[in-house]
Homo-oligomer: A and B are copies of this chain.
């Protein structure tokens, strides 16, 4: 049995959003499952010395076009959010809390949070909004709201973010297949080739 592929993503990343919507098709084509691992790019940027993509002079304006074109290429609804980027620590905590109980539901939650932000234009930074979206897909909202305040849950999420950084994750989406990293929606075909041909 092959080890699952690690699929890292940041909820405020348009390319992570696109990846989340196609990840299950990719799993099917590769015959390999993925472990979904939301993380936060804020702490990464402190290490890399980078700033959010849209704030980089010249590149920022370009990236706004590329988000739209990339979504269209993959036939995924996309509207540029009014507030972007946003803090997504509540979304990350909610994901892992749900994931520890039901990983299929956690995937559903990830996709719902992403669609709320990038297709419907809902700012998902507030815990209450995350809870509301989780409730809609059948999560126990009261239990989740309580969990989001729980230091153990906060710590659980922090450890995941630290682990992602330790694994070298500097962008979103970011995949690791048997130790080989692939960054970006545009590297998914290369990853599929990699799996098909058995690597180097």
User: A48-B56, A56-B49, A56-B50 given as contacts; is B168 within 8 A of A61 (CB)?
Assistant: yes
Q: Which of A173-198 contact B (CB under 8 A)?
A: 180-181, 183-184, 186-187, 190, 193-194
Other-chain residue from B47, B70, B169, B193 in contact with A73 (beta carbon distance below 8 A): B193
Report whether A57 and B49 are in contact in the complex, using a CB–CB cutoff of 8 Å: yes
Other-chain residue from B57, B170, B190 in contact with A58 (beta carbon distance below 8 A): B170
In the assembled complex, the Cα of A65 lies from the Cα of B191 at a distance in Å of 13
Interface band, chain A: 20 to 34
Q: Chain B residues near A14 (CB, 8 Å)?
A: none
Report whether A170 and B48 are in contact in the complex, using a CB–CB cutoff of 8 Å: no
Q: Chain B residues near A73 (CB, 8 Å)?
A: 190, 193
User: A49-B57, A56-B50, A57-B48 given as contacts; is B69 within 8 A of A190 (CB)?
Assistant: yes
Q: Does A101 contact B (CB under 8 A)?
A: no
In the assembled complex, the Cα of A51 lies from the Cα of B168 at a distance in Å of 19
Q: Does A44 contact B (CB under 8 A)?
A: yes
CB A72 to nearest CB in B, in angstroms, measures 9
User: A73-B190, A73-B193, A193-B73 given as contacts; is B62 within 8 A of A57 (CB)?
Assistant: no
Q: Which residue of B lies closest to A168 (CB)?
A: B58
In the assembled complex, the Cα of A50 lies from the Cα of B48 at a distance in Å of 11
Q: Which 9 A-B pairs have the closest CB atoms?
A: A58-B170, A186-B186, A48-B57, A59-B170, A47-B57, A48-B58, A48-B56, A58-B168, A62-B181
